[in-house]
Amino acid sequence: MSAGFADIDWTRPWLAPVEPRGRRWQAAALAGYADYLEALNEDAARAALTTGRGEALAFIAQEGLPAGASYEGHIALTGRVPTRHNLHDFFNGLMWFAYPRIKAALNARHAAQIDALGIGPTRGGVRDALTLFDENAVLFACADATLADALRGFGWRALFVDERAAWGARCEARMFGHALLEKLVAPYKACTGHAWIVDVPAAYFTSDDAARRAMIDEAVSARIIAGPLDSRAFAPLPVLGVPGWWDANASADFYDDVSVFRPGRRSR
């Protein structure tokens, strides 16, 4: 049986930034589809969020997407996000509030590609990378280039064991991909995100959560708009390896599992 709204465990560390809003939405979703959409739209009106083309954001039932219309193109042009009554779209909605600039930037790039190339049997490289980011990205904020190099180079022991004290002081991971968040409702060791490395100043780690999110939102959205963007910009990150995110990783031998913490094959 697939996971449902009642299965969300808000004590999971990766959900902490979205917990207050998420709990309210969860209660509404459990009450019914109409209550769920109402909760999302009340928050959207209050926050005055906009799409990649400046349209006021609203959430509509999936049936409101016209036949043949592009999902991203429809959002850009109308501001209306077709939303199903499921975990996948639940977490997608939460990311519009956690990182509104990033979501708008992704939408703007999608819409620009659709305008230029139309809708075909495949999305093309740029839209594939945008979708990968939207679905599976982990934002790796880092103030130490050696830690970013360890991530890019599959240096798991250096990143997670030798430099364990650096987590929260010189680097951190923040969830973004809504498909990845959906998977983590039922966590498993091999669950892997696509890390997008974000260079931040040391002062980032003395800021509160809201300030950190705003800093990440601004920096990443600017990079997405500026391009270029392709799947090679990401580094794999087994998310349950993040210190503090999974009790079992307190033991160094957790990282000895080469089926999860694989040696790298690529060069940069």
In the chain, the percentage of residues whose pLDDT exceeds 90 is 84
139 inside domain: yes
Q: Are residues 99 and 213 in the same domain?
A: no
> How many domains, in total, are found in the chain?
2
Q: Are residues 235 and 135 in the same domain?
A: yes
264 inside domain: no
266 inside domain: no
By C-alpha distance, which of 126, 179, 170, 130 is closest to 150?
170
What's the mean pLDDT in 201-210?
98
Q: Are residues 136 and 112 in the same domain?
A: no
What's the mean pLDDT in 238-247?
98
Is residue 266's pLDDT more than 60?
A: no
Residue range 66-109, pLDDT digits in tens: 998 889 889 999 999 999 999 999 999 999 999 999 999 999 99
Judge contact between 255 and 161, C-beta under 8 A.
yes
Q: Which pLDDT score, from 0 to 100, does residue 230 have?
A: 72
Q: Which pLDDT score, from 0 to 100, does residue 267 have?
A: 46
What's the mean pLDDT in 224-238?
87
Residue range 208-219, pLDDT digits in tens: 999 999 999 999
- 17 pLDDT band, cuts 50/70/90, is very high
Question: Mean pLDDT over all residues of the chain?
Answer: 94
Long-range contacts at 241-248 (CB < 8 A, ≥ 24 apart): 241/156, 241/160, 242/14, 242/160, 242/167, 242/173, 243/160, 243/164, 243/167, 244/13, 244/167, 244/168, 245/12, 245/13, 245/14, 245/173, 246/187, 248/189
Q: Are residues 108 and 135 in the same domain?
A: no
Could you say which of 103, 122, 141 is where a domain stops?
A: 122
Is residue 242's pLDDT more than 50?
A: yes
164 inside domain: yes
What is the residue range of 140's domain?
Answer: 131-256
Could you say which of 100, 122, 144 is where a domain stops?
A: 122
Q: Are residues 87 and 165 in the same domain?
A: no
Give the number of other Cβ atoms within 10 Å of residue 169's Cβ. 13
Q: Are residues 173 and 196 in the same domain?
A: yes
Residue range 37-48, pLDDT digits in tens: 999 999 999 999
Q: Are residues 107 and 38 in the same domain?
A: yes
Could you say which of 63, 87, 122 is where a domain stops?
A: 122
- Residue 103: exposed, middle, or buried by beta-carbon count in 10 A (0-12, 13-18, 19+)? buried
Q: Which pLDDT score, from 0 to 100, does residue 265 have?
A: 65
Rounded CA separation 81/62 (Å): 8
By C-alpha distance, which of 228, 223, 248 is closest to 238?
248
Q: Are residues 113 and 51 in the same domain?
A: yes
Judge contact between 99 and 216, C-beta under 8 A.
yes
Q: Are residues 144 and 235 in the same domain?
A: yes
Q: Are residues 50 and 99 in the same domain?
A: yes
268 inside domain: no
265 inside domain: no
Q: Are residues 139 and 247 in the same domain?
A: yes
181 inside domain: yes
Q: What is the pTM of this model?
A: 0.94
Is residue 121's pLDDT more than 80?
A: no
Distance of CA 203 to the CA centre of its chain: 23
Q: Are residues 211 and 155 in the same domain?
A: yes
